[in-house]
Copies of this chain bind each other. A is one copy, B any other.
Amino acid sequence: MGGDFAPQAVVEGVVDAVKDLDVNIVLVGIESQVREELKKYTYPAEKIEIVHAPEVVGMHESASTPIRRKKESSISVGINLLKEKQYEAFISAGNTGAVVAASTIYLGMLPGVDRPGIGIVIPTLTGFAFLIDAGANTEAKPEHLLQNAQMANVYAREVMGIEEPKVGLLNIGEEAGKGSGFEKETYKLMEEKLPNFIGNIEANEVFTGKGNCIICDGFVGNIVLKVAEGLMESAGKIAKREIVKNPLSMFGALILKFTLKNARKLVDYSEYGGAPLLGVNGLVMISHGRSSPKAIKSAIRATKREIEHNIIEKIIKDVKGNG
C-alpha cells in the first residue's frame, strides 16, 4: 500500500517480476484493493499470494505509527511475517521512517550493529557506488558510521561484485583532519578498523567513482541524494524552457533525447530501484515513494540478488570479525 502510486504501480511491477524473474511474491495490503488491481493482468496465479492488512501508514505519518497505532498496517504485518520467516525479504515503497522504525523494533539488530543504515546504489562515471546512510539514522555516532562502512563493504563485494571495495568517508576536504569533530573522530576509527579505507571523499567526487562505498550520516546522505535529484530536475526544466524558444534547438533536443537520458540516469532511482536497509535482522528493501512499476521490478531483482548472496550471514561474519 506504500508509495505515491500504490497499489497500482506496485501491483504492475510485481506482475512483471513474477513473469520474468523467477520469484514468488506475497502482496501485503488491503485485500479487496489489491485483488481489484490484480484483475487487470494475466500472470501465473500460483506465484502471487495476498495477505490482508487493513491499515495503511500515510507518507506523512510519524515513524512510530506502525509500531504504536497501526499494528495492522501493511508495514507492521509485512515485517512481522518476515520475522516469522514466512518469506525471505520485505520490500516497501511506503513511509521510509516507518519502515525503518518497524524493522528495527520487530526484527532487531544484527550482532555488532547498533543502528540501521539505508544504502543507495549510485551510478558513477566508472560503474556504481554504494552510499550509506541515506536517512535512517540522523543522530549518528562515529561507531555507527564504522558499522555502516563494514556493511557497505560486504554489500559492494558480495552483491555488486566489486572485489576490493574502496571505502571512503564523505567529508568537506580531502585531507585527514577535515570536517567537524564528528568527522575527525570517524576518520580515525575507520583508519584503524577498515583495511580498505581510502580516506575522505569530497561531495564533488560522489559521482566520479573515486570510492565504491561512500559513508556519511543519514542527514548528509539525504541531502546528497535530494540535491542531485533536485538539480537534475531544475536543470532539465531550464533546458526545456530555453529549447522551446527556438525551433532549431528543439530539433537538436529531439536528436539528443536518448543521449541525455543516459546522463540523467545518474540520479534515476528506477534504474536500481531499491535501497537496502542494512543492520536489521532480516532483508528489508526500501523503494522510492515515487516508485514506478519499473522501479518496483528493479527492487525485486536487487532483493533477489541479496537473497542469492546470503548477504545477512556475510554481514554478520564480517562485522563480528572487524568489531
List residues of chain A with CB under 8 Å of any chain B CB. Answer: 60, 124-125, 135, 138-139, 170, 172, 175, 179-181, 183, 202-208, 218-220, 222-239, 242-243, 246, 248-249, 251-256, 258-260, 262-267
* Closest residue of B by beta carbon distance from A229: B204
Copies in the assembly, this chain: 2
Q: Measured between C-beta atoms, what is the minimum distance from A240 to chain B in Å? A: 9
Provided the pairs A242-B259, A252-B253 are in contact, do residues A208 and B230 lie with their beta carbons within 8 angstroms?
yes
* Closest residue of B by beta carbon distance from A230: B204
Secondary structure call for the A interface: helix
Q: Measured between C-beta atoms, what is the minimum distance from A221 to chain B in Å? A: 9
| 5 contacts across the A-B interface (CB closer than 8 A) | A227-B228, A231-B232, A242-B263, A251-B252, A252-B255
Q: Give Cα A248 to B179, complex, Å.
A: 46
Is A235's CB under 8 angstroms from B232's CB?
yes
Is B203's CB under 8 angstroms from A125's CB?
no
Partner of A223, one of B135, B224, B259: B224
Q: Give Cα A218 to B179, complex, Å.
A: 9
Is A203's CB under 8 angstroms from B219's CB?
no
